[in-house]
Structure 1
Amino acid sequence: MARVAVREYRLAVRRRWVVGIAVLFALFSVALVFLGGSKVGPTRVPAVLASVAQLGVYVVPLAALAVGFDTIVGADESGSLEMLLALPLSNTAVVVGKYLGRATALSGGMLTGFAVGGAILVRFAGVGVLGAYAGVALAAVAAALAFLGVSVLASTLAAEKTRALGAVLAAWVWFVLVHDLVALGLVASFDLPQSVVTAAVLTNPGDLFRVFVLRGVSTTAGGIAGVLTETGLTTPVLVAALAAWVVLPITGAVLAFRRRSI
């Protein structure tokens, strides 16, 4: 498993995914810091962190799904998957190893990019903001790893790379645009209890990330985010839910891989 992960990571570096992800999140974090005000002070930090949560829910899933959509189906089409299966490796080692390699590349690129924005934020607001900013960055990475698991599952189920790409794009639209509107529309239309909103948060890793961040900043969230943060989910529950969003899709990918015709 470790050898597969190292090989996958090296391929990601060779294809410059790490650089691309780092540049994307550096631009993202720096832009939000400067948009928060030309002279960001301690009183503006919560607004900057809230902006990371509100806009990161669009960028984080897109980056993770793009990194993982060809994990299995791409290797199958290129012939490298058949070479791996010729080695004494289990199906679990192949799938989990590939996931871990790409997860390392994705996490490294994201943290590098966030570090650039964090350095500027510290320059404006002082080192006291570093802990809160680091927590937001780590929450974003955790959400990205969950979405990466979803993309690996889609890649395992798809027969062609184009179908895998279509599947992850559909997943992005669902989790980012449609899911919350459907859930909150049902709650508003039928006067459903708050537990339905809680269930909606638990079934969307993007919402888990957003709630995790917004509950820790002293700013008021409006719109859908304001409703989502009203849930009584504790931090351990949010962390456990994000972990489940990593484990369950990868478990499904391993089971699907065993039935895949190579």
Structure 2
Amino acid sequence: MFLTLKTVELCSEPLIASSVLIDSISLYHTEEPQEIHLVPQALSYKVVGLSENGLMTIEKIGLQKLWLANTEAIGAKSLIHPTKLFHACVSAGLVPMFPAHQNTETCAPTNEEMRSYIMSVCLDNGLIKTILDIGEQWESGVHATSNCTLNFLFEWVWSSVSTAYKSVNGICDTLFSASGQELDVSLKRRLQLSRLILDRLYYIHTAFCSKYNHTLYADTLEPRLKAIDIITLFVHQVSWFMNVGLLPEANSKGFTQYSHPLRLFEIGPLCCR
């Protein structure tokens, strides 16, 4: 099945006719739908064109997929001078679900804020190897003058954990309030996304602990790993309790609207190390 195009200026030579291959059309998939990912910018597809020299196939890649592919190909070195990559990311409508820094929407974000934003987008889209490669590139300290250091990377991980943790903690206010109030679809999705991101952060931090346990950061990495482990386990248990119908807590005699819920503040001291 074909969709005829009115615009045929797809390459350097004139096309007599062109058609989009319907089966090749795909939309950028994001775990959390965002209105900015609109057609046709987010669409990827292939076009078959007929010119005087014969048939040709032309591929159009959506802005989001193109940015992710380029970032993965360029790797860690793209973060040394992140301005161009950052603005391309924003133009593509890629927004972190749990940004480690909150003020990247200012007129002039710092290089550190832009790097943090880019790494958070990579995290959301599963570019784990790219993040791990950043550590390898920065371990030597060659780019330390640009603040491209292991310490910056470790602090980004911890800040990302903290942001996801706060999101989960807010959701648990409803689940453990003994009100019996069900979560709406958006909050359920938010909880599942928190679990996904925390799983990825746990994997990344575990890899860092294994690789950089000989560095001066070892005393900081290990306690944080324990904290991330506890938080991740908690989120998994909350999800399980929801799936089997034990959450949210039902409102009944003996439970008041102001009873003290079991929340993540119980592990707060460990998380603040």
TM-score when normalising by structure 2? 0.30
TM-score when normalising by structure 1? 0.31
Greater helix content: 1
Larger radius of gyration: 2
Greater strand content: 2
Higher relative contact order (CA 8 A, sep 6+): 1
